A = this chain, B = another copy of it.
Amino acid sequence: MGNFKEDIVKTKAFIFDVDGVMTNGGITPIEGGTDFLRTYNAKDGYAIAYAIRRGYKVCVISGGHGNLLQSRLTRLGVTKMYLNCMDKISAMKEFFEEYDVDPATTIYMGDDIPDLECMEQVGIPVCPADACSEVVEASRYISEFNGGAGAVRDVVEQVLRSQDEWAKDRRGVLGIASR
């Protein structure tokens, strides 16, 4: 295990949990009983969609579920998503094989106990500032930003900067905050 700043130079893939990572962990039940409102961060969304446009692979693995979550990720262009997922480690392995991704250079950002097993099996486990203590201990990089408040943006930006890929194309990114 080398230096974080040096290792992200080779990163080509990101894996994100949803609740507490892409959101602040807030979940708001709504009528119908099978879905939640979640509030995402526009700057995170820009970074994810931009990274995908530049050829990076982005996978989401979440115990969360619902049409609203799925359509959000689809619109961002997320490469692969596993929702309603109780076996995160198998999902992650399938992603690695299917997309020919090297675990050693992959970033996984989680925030809670169910993320730990995956975090132990990638080269670059990271977390938001407000992750649970076990996840903080398992992480090689702890963002100064909380989940839903820029933690995702922070790591995507750092990786792309290290490869001179950030802000090369300043157009807007479809799908962040529109249909």
Ordered by A's residue number, 7 sampled pairs between the chains whose C-beta atoms are within 8 Å are: A20-B43, A42-B112, A62-B177, A65-B178, A85-B172, A88-B172, A114-B170
Q: Determine whether the beta carbon of B34 is less than 8 Å from that of A179.
A: yes
Copies, count: 4
Question: Which 4 pairs of residues, A with B, have the shortest CB-CB distance?
Answer: A65-B178, A19-B42, A114-B172, A64-B177
- Tell me which residues across on chain B come within 8 A of A87, comparing CB atoms: 171
Chain B nearest CB, measured from A64 CB (Å): 4
Q: Determine whether the beta carbon of A41 is less than 8 Å from that of B25.
A: yes
A108 within 8 A of partner (CB): no
Q: In A13-39, which residues have CB < 8 Å from any B CB?
A: 18-20, 23, 25-31, 33-39
Residue A43 contacts which of B37, B86, B111, B153 (CB distance < 8 angstroms)? Answer: B111
